[in-house]
Amino acid sequence: MSPQRRPLFPRRPGRPASVKTPLRLIVTLGAVVALTAACNPFGSTSSRGRFPEDPCFAEFVYKSDETPTVKDRIDSVNVRWPNTNASEVHVVIEYSPALAFLPAQDPEFWLTAVATVPDETITALMEGTTSSALLPGIYPGLYQYVPQECEFTTIDQEFADKALAPDKEKIPHDFGPMDIRALAVSEDCNLLVFTALGHSD
């Protein structure tokens, strides 16, 4: 019997308690690798949504038996990563296809998101800067929420996970913890762009 899948969008809980980010840091300009989002070679366009892929982003590699749907759910991010403190979230979260030859495996689910966050969240993450030529490989339906004029800095995935969710044991079981796989921040646009993976137990 295949493991039961929990709902990926649990009922909205009450407003989660605010968690203050303890990190205060200064990052030298030389350590920051900025990713310019305005790199579309197809010419000027008001929306990335018309293109199935965008050269600014890594390849979208996640699969699902269902057609992915973009939702506006702040809790999908703020509950799993309390220190995010996002005020707006556009997110896609789906189960990966089950593998018939591994019937007892815990169901895998993935998340890709674009989140608007406060300066404090950006500052806390900037200590974990790393280098990457591309933005995280989010679902193409989310490209439209990433303005082309925004500049991004990539953040080490493990650093980001610990900074945004320092104690995953406190995450409600209905949501299920996830591990960040790629994340980039935009200081000028106050945006996070990221992908994550999790397993239902």
Tell me the per-residue pLDDT of 170-189, one tens digit each, with 9 for 90 and over.
888 778 889 999 999 999 99
Cα(28)–Cα(180) distance, rounded to whole angstroms?
25
Amino acid 188: pLDDT: 96
Q: Counting Cβ atoms within 10 Å, is residue 116 exposed (0-12), middle (13-18) or buried (19+)?
A: middle
**How far is CA 108 from its chain centroid?**
16
pLDDT at 69 over 70: yes
**Who wins on pLDDT, 25 or 143?**
143
Average pLDDT over residues 81-109: 83
Average pLDDT over residues 94-104: 68
Cα(13)–Cα(177) distance, rounded to whole angstroms?
16
pLDDT at 113 over 80: yes
**Who wins on pLDDT, 92 or 172?**
92
Of 183, 178, 114, 105, nearest to 145 (Cα)? Answer: 114
pLDDT at 109 over 60: yes
DSSP classification of residue 106 = P
Helix (H) or strand (E) holding 111: strand 108-116
Cβ atoms of 87 and 117 closer than 8 Å = yes
Cβ atoms of 92 and 63 closer than 8 Å = no
pLDDT grade, residue 52 (50/70/90)?
low
Cα(80)–Cα(175) distance, rounded to whole angstroms?
7
Amino acid 196: pLDDT: 97
Tokens 């979208």, residue? 60
Cα(160)–Cα(37) distance, rounded to whole angstroms?
21
Share of the chain above pLDDT 70, in %: 69
Q: 119: which 2 tokens? A: 């300066």
Cα(171)–Cα(167) distance, rounded to whole angstroms?
8
**Who wins on pLDDT, 122 or 132?**
122
pTM: 0.75
CB neighbours of 1 closer than 8 A, spacing ≥ 6?
Answer: 103
